[in-house]
Structures are given as structure tokens and as C-alpha cells.
């Protein structure tokens, strides 16, 4: 149990006790019974879990918004201009955009598959929000820490291309269909090197929970040193997985209007756009956790701050790559994924196995 | 920035430097420069670029100098200048230029054509308006405080002097000693004296020729031009009912 859970359980007990006392004060028999039921262990557990989930959703979304702000400002400097200027250092641009998309009209194309069209975007968003729960901030601040947390996160992540394809197909529009197809092809091509890199991490650490991986790195060495090839492969594959600029074929603004999300309007489009950044945030978090030692660091600031600052630095490299490189074609992406990254990931796996067999770690 | 001409071969596909690392180096240098100093963009409404001294913004007018010759209106390539009647305290009802800035392309030809340098170019360029009517500047609104350098001057040489091979003199704009002249075809003139009434500078005077009209037994008057006063606005040529006047260019 993390400290967060313990403190929130205490808070929930106090809160529900307060509610029960209020109900008791009414001197009505059935309400007093209801108050007694509120104080039982399952209800307290449920409410405290709900509170943890809400806190995690809000914090993760705020950091996702920080990523959008960071990208705007950093990309501005890369392009020799200032980024957005709304509010304090341009931070309120996100909120202005959010208000704008919320006020937009809800449009469903006439010939689209209505049910799938409405559901696909929610599948995409739900998988993104579920990923927030998989990423711990420190060994005291997390939602779940199951034994196979890394595998669970990647499994949820792999749900993304599926919903993208469904959304692109159900919009009944050639641009969205092409965008969905490209997304599926690209994400599958880049997901396999990504998974092989994670396998090498699991081989070395002998653990698939984030807390275990980070603890191993605290005791031994940051994995970016022995597995530098794997880290590079993971980094490139992560850029492709988050559909960012060198590999932004699913959302090719120059060719496909807005890619698979062309037909989505209003707040669904806003959340889809934001969830691209949430996914980038999650991939940066994964990179930090697997290769940069997670929240490990000198203890003059909190562990969570170490984790977040490392994540922001990784995202700076994402932005740098975006500013420096040109977009590449579909066949080049697939060639890169299957013919360059996959052999590199296999080589990296061999190195990990060799290190384990030789007994270095 | 230099653009290098380079051919990519198949071997370049295996080389990361050309595609990725070199561009990353270049962009990172740019980012460091923009962070250390400042980006090349400016925060426009709060900061403004320094405009050069000879910047040509919207046209302006110094009403005290204007004689209403309408040369600006004739010269304007976009035909955005129109002569409108206004009431001035000392001169009464006169015609002065009104500029439609929605059409104006800030070429400054009006200021170049102005014989009295009443039309000037001003450094003003922020001309936003909520309506098109707000962009039509009447003579009073068009006024702008004069500053040396706002007027547009030029100098010219005569083609005849160049062909003669002798000394080539340069003449300033509005040099009264050398400019186009108005020529009268006396046979067509009907002595209506409209040209004298139209002339904004009073350069035309109706003088008796010495002949007498055989029908009315009155002396015939014909216009006489004072070339030191004339600004060649050609209003007399336009107003002449019998096309008796024409312009003779100085060459």
C-alpha cells in the first residue's frame, strides 16, 4: 500500500464518519442504518479508490497540459520565435483552447456508422486515461502496482490503433480511412521493437512491475548505460507510437486534413488532440522509468519531482527531434520499423541476455 | 543561410548524420541563440519596428499650402483621391483632396506630383478601421503635422540638353524656369474666360488682342499665361469648351 492510499483512507473514514454523524442526528432509523453501512470497510475502500483515481486523472491531465505548453514554448525557440503569449508565460492558451472546443457544435456525419463513430473516440480516450493509472510517480504515489504493470500498460497502449482504425473507418470519409490504415500499419510496425526493448529490461531486472524495475536501477545502474542501443530504439519507436512529427502519418495535416480525426468536432476533437500529448507523456514516463531510473536521484527534492523533471527532459528531446527532422513516407516508416529498429532491438536483447548470463548484474 | 547542392546516394540511407544529427545540431544552435539573446520576432502591439527615415506610410496633407490643383488626383494610380468641396475659414469654399485609404497603395506619387509640397508622405501605417467608411480620409482628417523630409522631391535633366552634348543641368522639382507650358490655339478660342476662372494660381489673365468683334463691336480677349505662376495642373485644358488649349512638354 502506498502512503497516498493510507492517507486517503484515513481522510475517507473521517469524511464518511462525518456523513454518518449527520445522518444519525436526523434520528431516523433507516438513515442511521445507512450511516453505519457507509462506515464499513468495503465502502471506505471503494470511496478512497475513487478519490485516488480522481486525483491521478487530474494530476496526469495537468502534466499533459504542461507538455503542450512546453512544446509550444520550446518549439518556438527552435523556430526563432516566441511561443504562445496568452496569460502567464502563455500557460493559459490551453484553457482558452479548451473553452473554445467545448463551445463547438456536436456534428455527426450523415452517412457514418453512428454508434461506432461515437464509441471509437471514447475507446481511444478511455485507453489513454487508463494508462495514467499504470504509471507510478514514486514508490509512495501510484494507483496500482501489479506484478505485470509494464505488460499491462503496453497492453492498454496497444488498444489505441484498434480504436483509431474503427474511428477512421466509421467516419465514412476517405481521409479518415487512409489515416486509420496508416495508424494501424505504423503503430504495429513500431510496437514490436518497443516491446522487445521492454523484454530486454525485464531480462536484466527480472521484474515487470515499475517499482521493481526502478528499485533494481537504484541498487545497480541506470539501464540506459548497459542498454544504450535499446534506449535509442525505444526512443525512436516511442516517437512513432505517439504519432509525432517525423512519423506523423496518421495525422498528416498536409495530405489528410486531420488524419483519422477529420470528422470529429467539438470537445471530442479537443480531447483527441490532448490525448496525443497524454500518450507522449506516458511514453516519456515509460522511458524515464525503464531507462533513466524513474524517481531515483539525490534526496534533496521529492522523488516525484525527480520523476517529472526527467520526463520533461525526455519530452524536450521529443520536441527537438520534431524541430529538426522532416516527415517521412509510409514505406520509409515501415522500412525503418521492420528493417532497422527490429534488428537493433534484437541485438539489444542479445546484449541483455549476455549480460545476465555472464553474471554482470 | 547557404543552400548546398548535394546529391543523395543509396549510401546516405545508412548515414544518420546527414538526415538527423546534422539537422539536430543546426536547430539546437538556433534554439540556444534564440534563448540567450531573443527571438527575431517582436511583440507587435507593444513593441514596434524602427521604420527608416524615408518610410512611405499613408499620405497626409498640409492644408495651408494646398492650392487645390488636383494634380494628386490625376496622378494617383489607384484613383483613390477625389477632390471634394470643403469650407475653409480664410478661403471659403474650396476643393481639396480626399483619400480613400482602402485603395491607397502608399506609392507616394501624389506627394511627388504636388507642386507646393502640400501633399506629404507620413510614417503612419496603422490604419485599421471597423468600417470601410472609416478608411476614407477627408481633407481635414488627412491633415498631418509637417516635418522636414516628409515631402517627396526629385530632380531631372532635360533631354534636349543631353542631345546637344553641352553642359547638362539638373533642375529641381517645381523649377519655375523650366516646365511644361500651356499653348493657346487662338483660332479656336471663344473668349469665354473659363480657364482664367478655374486657374488655382491666378496665372491666367484675359488680355485684349486689339481686334474687335465685328458683331458686338467689343474687343476680343484671350488668355495670357504667366509661366512663373503656372503649375501645369491642366485644369484649364480640361475645362476649355473648344479644346483651344493644349500642353507643350518641355524637352
Q: Is A171:A109 a contact under the CB 8 Å cutoff?
A: yes
Per-residue pLDDT of B42-75, as tens digits, reads 888 888 888 888 888 899 999 988 888 888 998 8
CATH architecture classification, B59-142:
2-Layer Sandwich (3.30)
Q: What is the mean pLDDT of chain B?
A: 86
Same CATH fold assignment for domains B59-142 and B181-248: yes
Residue B1 has pLDDT above 60, yes or no: no
Q: Is A295:A138 a contact under the CB 8 Å cutoff?
A: yes
Least confident of A27-31, A54-58, B35-39, B234-238: A27-31
Name the range with the highest mean pLDDT among A101-105, A135-139, A325-329: A101-105
Per-residue pLDDT of B74-133, as tens digits, reads 889 999 999 999 998 888 888 899 999 999 998 889 999 888 889 999 988 888 889 999
- Asked if A81 reaches chain B (Cβ–Cβ under 8 Å), the answer is yes
Q: Find chain B residues with C-beta within 8 A of A74's C-beta.
A: 31
Per-residue pLDDT of B5-40, as tens digits, reads 666 666 665 565 567 788 888 889 988 988 888 888
DSSP H helices, A79-158, are 93-102, 114-134, 149-157
Q: Would you kindly state where each structural domain of chain B is located, as residue ranges? A: 59-142, 181-248
Measured between CA atoms, how close is A113 to chain B, in angstroms?
Answer: 42
User: Averaged over A36-54, what is the pLDDT?
Assistant: 82
CA angle A348, A284, A90 (to 5 degrees): 150
Give Cα separations from A267 to A101, A103, A104, A236, A282 (angstroms). 5, 8, 7, 30, 22
Pairing of strands B136-137, B170-172: unpaired
From B30, which residue of chain A is nearest by alpha-carbon distance? A78
For cell 521529443, what's the residue?
A318
Q: Find chain A residues with C-beta within 8 A of B33's C-beta.
A: 80
Name the grid cell of A218. Answer: 537504484
Q: Longest C-alpha distance within chain B, in Å?
A: 107
Per-residue pLDDT of A116-171, as tens digits, reads 888 888 888 898 888 888 888 887 777 777 888 888 888 888 888 888 888 888 88
* Upper half-sphere CA count for residue B185 (Cβ side, 13 Å): 12
- Asked if B34 reaches chain A (Cβ–Cβ under 8 Å), the answer is yes
B82 class by beta-carbon count within 10 Å (0-12 exposed, 13-18 middle, 19+ buried): middle
| Crossing angle between the packed helical segments A149-157 and A174-205, to the nearest 10 degrees | 170
* Upper half-sphere CA count for residue A140 (Cβ side, 13 Å): 10
Integer Cα distance of A293 and A245 in angstroms: 27
Q: Find chain B residues with C-beta within 8 A of A76's C-beta.
A: 39
Name the grid cell of A267. Answer: 470537445
Q: What class, spelled out in words, does domain B181-248 have in CATH?
A: alpha beta
Residues 6+ apart with CB under 8 A from A203: A349, A352, A353, A356
Name the grid cell of B111. Answer: 506627394
From B26, which residue of chain A is nearest by alpha-carbon distance? A324
B79 φ/ψ sector (left φ>0, alpha ψ -120 to 50, else beta): left
Q: Tell me the torsion sign for CA atoms B103, B106, B108, B114.
A: positive
Integer Cα distance of A201 and A214 in angstroms: 11
Per-residue pLDDT of A217-257, as tens digits, reads 888 888 888 888 999 999 999 998 888 878 887 777 777 77
Number of A:B CB contacts under 8 A? 44
Q: Is A63:A231 a contact under the CB 8 Å cutoff?
A: no
Residues 6+ apart with CB under 8 A from B121: B55, B56, B57, B58, B59, B60, B106, B108, B111, B150, B151, B152
- Mutation to test the A interface, candidates B17, B31, B32, B36, most A Cβ within 10 Å: B31
Nearest Cβ partner for B27 among A76, A85, A323? A323
From A323, which residue of chain B is nearest by alpha-carbon distance? B27
For residue B246, the cross-strand partners are B183
State whether B41 and A80 contact (CB < 8 Å): yes
The 3-class SS string of B49-92 reads CCCCCCCCCCEEECCCCCCCCCHHHHHCCCCCEEEEEEEECCCE
- Asked if B247 reaches chain A (Cβ–Cβ under 8 Å), the answer is no
Q: Is A233:A344 a contact under the CB 8 Å cutoff?
A: yes
Nearest Cβ partner for A78 among B19, B27, B41? B27
Nearest Cβ partner for B31 among A77, A321, A326? A77
Integer Cα distance of A265 and A105 in angstroms: 7
Integer Cα distance of A48 and A53 in angstroms: 9
Nearest Cβ partner for B39 among A74, A77, A321? A77
Amino acid at each position: 500500500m502506498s502512503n497516498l492510499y493510507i492517507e486517503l483512507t484515513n481522510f475517507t473514514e473521517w469524511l464518511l464518519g462525518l456523513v454518518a454523524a449527520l445522518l444519525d442526528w436526523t434520528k431516523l432509523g433507516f438513515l442511521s442504518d445507512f450511516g453505519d453501512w457507509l462506515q464499513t470497510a468495503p465502502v471506505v475502500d471503494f470511496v478512497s479508490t475513487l478519490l485516488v483515481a480522481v486525483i491521478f486523472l487530474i494530476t496526469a491531465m495537468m502534466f499533459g497540459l504542461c507538455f503542450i505548453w512546453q512544446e509550444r514554448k520550446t518549439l518556438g525557440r527552435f523556430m526563432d520565435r516566441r511561443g504562445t503569449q496568452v496569460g502567464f508565460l502563455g500557460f493559459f492558451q490551453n484553457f482558452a483552447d479548451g473553452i473554445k472546443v467545448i463551445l463547438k457544435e456536436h456534428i455527426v456525419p450523415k452517412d457514418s456508422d453512428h454508434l461506432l463513430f461515437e464509441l471509437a473516440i471514447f475507446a481511444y480516450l478511455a485507453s489513454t486515461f487508463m494508462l495514467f493509472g499504470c504509471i507510478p510517480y514514486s514508490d509512495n504515489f501510484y494507483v496500482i502496482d501489479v506484478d505485470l504493470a509494464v505488460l499491462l500498460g503496453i497492453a492498454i497502449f496497444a488498444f489505441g490503433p484498434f480504436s483509431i482504425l474503427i474511428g477512421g473507418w466509421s467516419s465514412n470519409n476517405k481521409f479518415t480511412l487512409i489515416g486509420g490504415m496508416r495508424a494501424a500499419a505504423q503503430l504495429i510496425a513500431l510496437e514490436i521493437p518497443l516491446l522487445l526493448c521492454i523484454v530486454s529490461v525485464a531480462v536484466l531486472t527480472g521484474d515487470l512491475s515499475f517499482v521493481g524495475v526502478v528499485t533494481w536501477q537504484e541498487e545497480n545502474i541506470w539501464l540506459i548505460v548497459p542498454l544504450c542501443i535499446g534506449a535509442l530504439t525505444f526512443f525512436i519507436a516511442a516517437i512513432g507510437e505517439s504519432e509525432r512529427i517525423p512519423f506523423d502519418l496518421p495525422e498528416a495535416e498536409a495530405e489528410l486534413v486531420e488524419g483519422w480525426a477529420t470528422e470529429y468536432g467539438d470537445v471530442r476533437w479537443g480531447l483527441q488532440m490532448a490525448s496525443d500529448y497524454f500518450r507522449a507523456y506516458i511514453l516519456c514516463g515509460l522511458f524515464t522509468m525503464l531507462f533513466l531510473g524513474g524517481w531515483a536521484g539525490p534526496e534533496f527534492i521529492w522523488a516525484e519531482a525527480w520523476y517529472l523533471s526527467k520526463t520533461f527532459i525526455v519530452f524536450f528531446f521529443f520536441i527537438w527531434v520534431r524541430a529538426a527532422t522532416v516527415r517521412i513516407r509510409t514505406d520509409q516508416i515501415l522500412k525503418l520499423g521492420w528493417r532497422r529498429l527490429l534488428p537493433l532491438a534484437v541485438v539489444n536483447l542479445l546484449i541483455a541476455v549476455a549480460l545476465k548470463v555472464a553474471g554482470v548484474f | 543561410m547557404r543552400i548546398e547542392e548535394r546529391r543523395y546516394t543509396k549510401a546516405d540511407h545508412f548515414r544518420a548524420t546527414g538526415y538527423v544529427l546534422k539537422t539536430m545540431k543546426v536547430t539546437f544552435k538556433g534554439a540556444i541563440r534564440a534563448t540567450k539573446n531573443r527571438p527575431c520576432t517582436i511583440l507587435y502591439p507593444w513593441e514596434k519596428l524602427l521604420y527608416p527615415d524615408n518610410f512611405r506610410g499613408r499620405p497626409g496633407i498640409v492644408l495651408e499650402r494646398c492650392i487645390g490643383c488636383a494634380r494628386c488626383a490625376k496622378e494617383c494610380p489607384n484613383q483613390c483621391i477625389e477632390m471634394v468641396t470643403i469650407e475653409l475659414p480664410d478661403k471659403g469654399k474650396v476643393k481639396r483632396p480626399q483619400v480613400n485609404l482602402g485603395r491607397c497603395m502608399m506609392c507616394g506619387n501624389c506627394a511627388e506630383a504636388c507642386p507646393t509640397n502640400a501633399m506629404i508622405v507620413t510614417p503612419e501605417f496603422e490604419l485599421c478601421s471597423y468600417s470601410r467608411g472609416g478608411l476614407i480620409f477627408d481633407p481635414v482628417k488627412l491633415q498631418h503635422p509637417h516635418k522636414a523630409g516628409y515631402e517627396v522631391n526629385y530632380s531631372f535633366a532635360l533631354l534636349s540638353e543631353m542631345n546637344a552634348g553641352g553642359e547638362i543641368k539638373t533642375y529641381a522639382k517645381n523649377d519655375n524656369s523650366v516646365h511644361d507650358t500651356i499653348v493657346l490655339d487662338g483660332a479656336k478660342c471663344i473668349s469665354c474666360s473659363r480657364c482664367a476662372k478655374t486657374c488655382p494660381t491666378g496665372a491666367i489673365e484675359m488680355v485684349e488682342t486689339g481686334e474687335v468683334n465685328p458683331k458686338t463691336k467689343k474687343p476680343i480677349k484671350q488668355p495670357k499665361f504667366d509661366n512663373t505662376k503656372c503649375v501645369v495642373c491642366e485644369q484649364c485644358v480640361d475645362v476649355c469648351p473648344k479644346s483651344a488649349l493644349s500642353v507643350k512638354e518641355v524637352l
